[in-house]
Structures are given as C-alpha cells and as structure tokens.
Chains A and B, each alone.
Chain A
Amino acid sequence: MRRSRRRKPKLAVWKFASCDGCQLTVLNLEDELLALAGAVEIAHFLEASRATVRGPYDVSLVEGSITTPHDARRIRRIRERSRYLVTIGACATAGGIQALRNFKDVREFVSIVYAKPEYIETLSQSTPISNHVRVDFELQGCPIDRRQLLEVLTAFLHGRRPNVPAHSVCMECKRRGVVCVMVARGVPCLGPVTQAGCGALCPGHARGCYGCFGPMETPNTASLATWLGRLGMADASLVRVFRTFNAGAPAFRAAAESHES
C-alpha cells in the first residue's frame, strides 16, 4: 500500500464567553457535517467530541469574547498552536452583547447578579480576540451564517482568502427584491451600515435590520443617524440601536457615543 495519503488538516473549535450559537452552526451543517468530518481531523471540538488531539492545529475557529484573566492567557496559548486563527461571531469579533459592560461599572453588574461578588472573577471589559492576539480572519454575525462558515472553512483548508462580502445589507435587499422598509414604511433599519451575510433576513420579514452582523466596511453611521432622527428617534434610542450585539465594534461604538448626552 502506498503511503502517499496526505495528512488531514487539523481543525479545532474553541469557546470563550458566548452562547454556543456559532459553534452550533458547525453542527447545523447537517448535510455537510459528515463530509467535513471526513475531510478534516476534528482535533478539538468539545461540544461535539470527547476525543482531543494535541496541536499544532491547521485552523482554529474561536467563538466568544475575552472576559476573564484566565481566558486572556488561554487565547495566547491557542494562537501559538494554530496556523490560522479565525474568529466566528460577534462575541469573538466585537466583544458580543456582554461588551455592554464596557460602558458601565462592572462591579455594579456583579453585585446586581451575585450576592457574594467576591467569588466572581471577571474583567471590567469584554474584548474581541483581536485585542489579544493576531487574527487571520473575522467572520461576523450574531450568529454567523452557515454558508459563510462553509466558505471560510473551505478557503482556509485550500490556503486561499475567503470570499465574504464587505458590502451592506441594503445590497442583499436589492438583490432579493425586498422593498425598503425604511423608505416605504418608515421602519428604522440599520441595513445601510450593516455588513451583508444574513440574506436580508429582517427586512424580508418586514422588520428593520438590527445590525447583528456588525458594521460593514466604512459605514456612514452619521448619515443613517440623521435619517433615523427624522423618523422620530431620540438620542437615547439611537444610543441603544448601535449598542446591541456589536456594541464594541469601533464604528458602532463611535456612533453610539456621538449621541450620548
């Protein structure tokens, strides 16, 4: 028997502070999961398997944000053992919904939830992975889109850059022929400043985009805020609109801050 079979690339999936939804997107590849498992060695993926294989890993997918001193150390070790490190989802890419603590006093947060705050070890900020280590690619979305995930995995396993669009949700609406909810019905929508990837889900369901994929490349948030103001949105609401699942993404953070009293 010839021994020319190439070693299968090692795939690892890691979790930090998050809801597991982006990891679940891997398992939600119901039609492709077994093929994927045949094409790679699933070397570390605790949600799916007891078996773990030592690194180095060819591709590490990282879900979740850094919120404890222990996790800040752990991500460095993972980076050292990973050829490519790809973040999946809004938590890993922008700090997630839990980055709302960044605008408040986290000690007060601890005391609201826990009777004995001294037992809780946490950082005052929830930060994206890229604040701690070099990241090769950031896949946006809360949650990520499974087709985009497949594209990213395929790209890294073949050593090319992923083909993931950086344009806005508006483009997806136009392509799908969805009537603009803001122009036609006066529904506030973050589509003009939000990165594509969901397939214009919310406008397709007659609601405005709430920005779960995070900012697109060079978004004009100031212009959008003016339009939202004309629809009757007060400053306090504008702050909230930009402070959800991607509150820590620089463009959305700046947009919220500019309306804070």
Chain B
Amino acid sequence: MNPEPSTKTIRVDALARVEGEGAMYVRVVGDRVADVQLRIYEPPRFFEALLRGRHFTEAVDITARICGICPVAYQMSATNAMEDACGVRVDGPLRDLRRLLYCGEWIQSHALHVYLLHAPDFLGYESAVHMARDDASTVRRGLRLKKAGNAVMTMLGGREVHPINVRLGGFYRVPTKSEMRALAEPLKWARDAAVETVRWVAGFPFPDFERDYEMVALRHPDEYAITEGRLASTRGLDAAVREFGDYVVEEQVPHSNALHATIRGRGPYLVGPMARYALNFDRLSPLAQEAAREAGLGPVCRNPFQSIVVRAAELVYACDEALRLIDRYEPPDRPAVDVPPRAATGHGCTEAPRGILYHRYTIDDAGTILDAKIVPPTSQNQKSIEEDLRGFVQARLDLPHDALTWQCEQAVRNYDPCISCATHFLRVDVERT
C-alpha cells in the first residue's frame, strides 16, 4: 500500500492591492503542482450586452465605466473602433491630444501600481501606508508622480476618473496653449522622479524566475505604440487590428467569470509592459532607454517580477513623451472632426497600461450599436498568470507556507491585473494534498 501523499493547504482569503477581487487556487499533490486556477469572481456587468441598442456616440462614456483605473484606454479603443467603422481618421493635433491624455493615464496608473500596489511586496510591507511609516519621502514621491499624471487627465479630460471631454472625432473642448504650458513644470519634475523610480526599483530583490512567453503588443512604424499600431508578437505575429479575431480565441472556463484568451494553435500569451518593451524597445525615447539599460534590463525582459522595472521605464517614457507633445502643441481649428454613422463593423485596439485592449462594434446606418465585443488585457493574461504560478510554485515547494503564499500573491500582482475589467474577488488558496 502506498503511503498517502503529504497534505498541506496554503490559503489567503483575499488577495489585496489589485484592482478588483478574485481568487487563486493551487493544488499540490506530493511534490507536484497538480492544478492552478485564477478564479475570477467579479460579478459580470454585461457591458457587451447593454451596449446593444445604444447610440454609437455613447460607447465612449459607457465603456469608460468598465474600469475606473484605465478609463482612457476604454475611451480610446472605443473611439478608434467607431471611427474605423465610419471610415474617419483623426490626425494632427487632435491625435496628439489623445496620445497626451493616454500618457497621463499611463503615468497615474503606473505610479499607482509601482508605488502603492507592487513595491510594498518587495520591501515586505502590507501597504504603501505601512511603508510610509519608515520612508515617507519615497511614498510622497510616488503620490506626486501619480498626481502629475492625474493633472494631465484633468486638464484634457475634465477629471481623472471617467473623463468627460472625449468624443468621437476628438474632444468637446481643446486646451489653450497656456493651459498646456502649465503642465510642463509638474511633468518635468515627474520625469526626473521617474528616472529616480527606475533606479529605486532596480535594486529590489527579484526571485530568479524566467518564462519563455509569446509576448503580444502593438507596433507602430515610428512611435512607441500607444493609441494605434499593428498586432505584433515575439513569435512573428504581424497582423492588422481588424484581424484580432483571426488569431485570438476566447473560451469560457468554469472557474472564471472572465473569458480566457489564447492565440489560435499556440496557446497562452503575454500582454502589457513587458510585451510592449520587448517589441518596441527601439521606439523608446533615449532617456527611457538609458534608464532601462542602467537598471540592467536587456532589450527583452522575461522575469515577470521585473515588470516593475519595465513599468518604471515606461513611466520615464510617458513623462518624456507628454513633454514632447506639450512642447509642439498648436491648438487645432476645431475640437473634433465629424464622424457620420454608416452601417459597418469597426475595430479598435490600444495599449492600456496593462496591455492591449480590443473593441469591435457593428453599427447600423442610424448609428445604433448592433453588436459589441470587448477583450480587456487581464482576460488575455489569465492563462499566463496561471502558468507563472504553476512554474513558480513548483520550483519553491520547500519554502515556508507564509513566504510562498505572499510570493504567489506577488506573482499575480506582477501583472497589475485589472480584475474590475475582468474580475472581482481575488483569493489565493494554495492547497497541498
């Protein structure tokens, strides 16, 4: 008779410092990880269903409500998709303003993740507030960086959560040159602080762990892709955004309210800062490249725990790029171009802080939405998160229970998963049988 395999259960009832709530389940039988599930309990909110019958101009404001942390990403993917359907292209200063607004969102979101959600893990704190008791000046730097990003969103969007100034074709009101200039000082400070941030996080203790991901991001001929580009991957994917559905398959699994995305015939893939960085390093500004090199990052980073360094390098880029856009700003003649509706299907994809966010809409001649499809970054990363955990736990079965649990949480937080976009209750259960 064989002896019973050793039984041990690691359990955390609520994973903190992520956006939304979900659960993690790892089952270990003997010395083997048998099952890993990222359980997304977020009660479904049915945006794709409730968009049906709405007017095509409303998608911008409605889809923003999918996520309070990256509303601009939703607004930009929605405008791209609707303008694509209507055959309209927005260029010049209006396009620059969209990119600037998006830089604001990257700055606030990355600063939030780096300082308030992720860094405490590496330094052994429960939260940034606990961290502030020992090092208030660092936490203040993070908050001020975040504030600089929010200032961009407030000036251009009206407010930082669910901006009101974005519309199809452009904006309701465009800023004056002097309003733009007022942003330069806080952003110059922020750019220096972002360089400091890269140095700070580069010194964190990173677990020795790498994975051979297929990384997917947008790629643009002459800019670090944010608001548009072609779909590209580290294994040769090169496709137009409208072909997204030809390559990406979504399936429903019993343990998650978010659909799992894979690349047809190939499997899980990674989106987000590490993917963007790997595919677009050559498009980063010299300052961001230099900061990344100084931090010891090569042109590709495969250790998910180092995503915090990549995010910090993107913070440098976003500040740098925002300053460039502010510097060359000339107010356009009109705040928006006309976008007359026509019966068609349109596709939009932009780089949300957490990775590519794809929207597809079918509208009729009157502009009524007949069908909507939205694929957020976290649902695309779900399988990668599970695969990370599988490999990570397998190699660390001898770690003490609490340490392994915390490191598992951290492995999930590497992704800055936006569970509101895809989930709700992130719980970590590691069960050893």
Contact = CB atoms under 8 A, between A and B. Distances in A.
B130 interface: yes
B167 to A, nearest CB: 8
Nearest to B132: A34
Given A17-B424, A206-B172, A22 B127 contact: no
Contacts of B68: 18-24, 143
B340 to A, nearest CB: 17
Given A30-B146, A71-B43, A98 B172 contact: no
B100 to A, nearest CB: 16
Nearest to A245: B65
Interface in A1-59: 15-25, 27-28, 30-31, 33-34, 37, 42, 46-52
A235 to B, nearest CB: 14
Contacts of A259: none
B46 A109 contact: yes
Interface stretch (B15-23, B26-34, B236-244, B294-302): B15-23
A34 B158 contact: no
A223 B183 CA distance: 42
B322 to A, nearest CB: 18
A47 B16 contact: yes
B161 A25 contact: yes
A205 interface: yes
Given A30-B144, A109-B50, A112-B49, A24 B161 contact: yes
Nearest to A145: B159
A120 B259 CA distance: 12
B59 to A, nearest CB: 12
B165 interface: yes
B10 interface: no
B143 A24 contact: no
B164 interface: yes
Interface in B150-186: 150, 158-162, 164-165, 167, 172-173
Given A42-B129, A52-B14, A110-B46, A207 B71 contact: no
A51 B126 contact: yes
Interface residues of A, number: 62
A49 B132 CA distance: 13
A201 B158 contact: yes
Contacts of A106: 46
B90 interface: no
B178 to A, nearest CB: 17
A85 to B, nearest CB: 19
Nearest to B171: A205
A22 B164 CA distance: 16
Interface string A164-203: 0000000000000000000000000000000000100110
A49 B16 contact: yes
Nearest to B68: A21
A139 to B, nearest CB: 14
A206 B66 contact: no
B49 A113 contact: yes
B221 interface: no
Interface string B45-78: 1111110101100100110011111010000000
Contacts of B116: 27, 48
Given A20-B20, A42-B129, A49-B17, A120 B143 contact: no
Contacts of A19: 65-68, 71, 420
A205 B164 contact: yes
Contact of A143 (B17, B66, B162, B254): B162
Contacts of A206: 172-173, 335
Contacts of A100: 50
A47 B252 CA distance: 26
A33 B147 CA distance: 12
B140 A21 contact: no
Contacts of A207: 164-165, 167, 172-173
B43 A50 contact: no
A253 interface: no
Interface string B79-90: 000000000000
Contacts of B160: 28
Contacts of A52: 14, 16
A98 B50 contact: yes
Interface string A97-122: 11011001010111011111001101
B257 interface: yes
A113 B44 contact: yes
Contacts of B45: 17, 67, 96-98
A205 B165 contact: yes
Contacts of A24: 19, 68-69, 112, 161
Given A143-B68, A204-B158, A207-B172, 16 more contacts: A16-B43, A19-B67, A28-B160, A28-B161, A30-B150, A46-B15, A50-B126, A108-B49, A110-B44, A110-B46, A116-B252, A143-B159, A201-B158, A205-B164, A206-B172, A206-B173
Interface of B: 14-21, 42-50, 52, 54-55, 58, 61-62, 65-69, 71, 112, 116, 120, 126-130, 132, 136, 139-140, 143-144, 146-147, 150, 158-162, 164-165, 167, 172-173, 251-252, 254, 257, 259, 335, 409, 420, 424
Identify the 5 closest CB pairs spanning chains A and B, nearest first. A21-B68, A49-B127, A51-B126, A109-B49, A143-B161
29 contacts: A19-B66, A19-B67, A30-B146, A30-B150, A33-B129, A34-B139, A37-B129, A42-B127, A42-B129, A46-B17, A48-B16, A50-B127, A71-B43, A97-B47, A97-B62, A97-B65, A104-B49, A109-B50, A112-B46, A113-B46, A113-B48, A114-B252, A115-B252, A143-B68, A143-B159, A202-B164, A205-B172, A206-B172, A212-B162
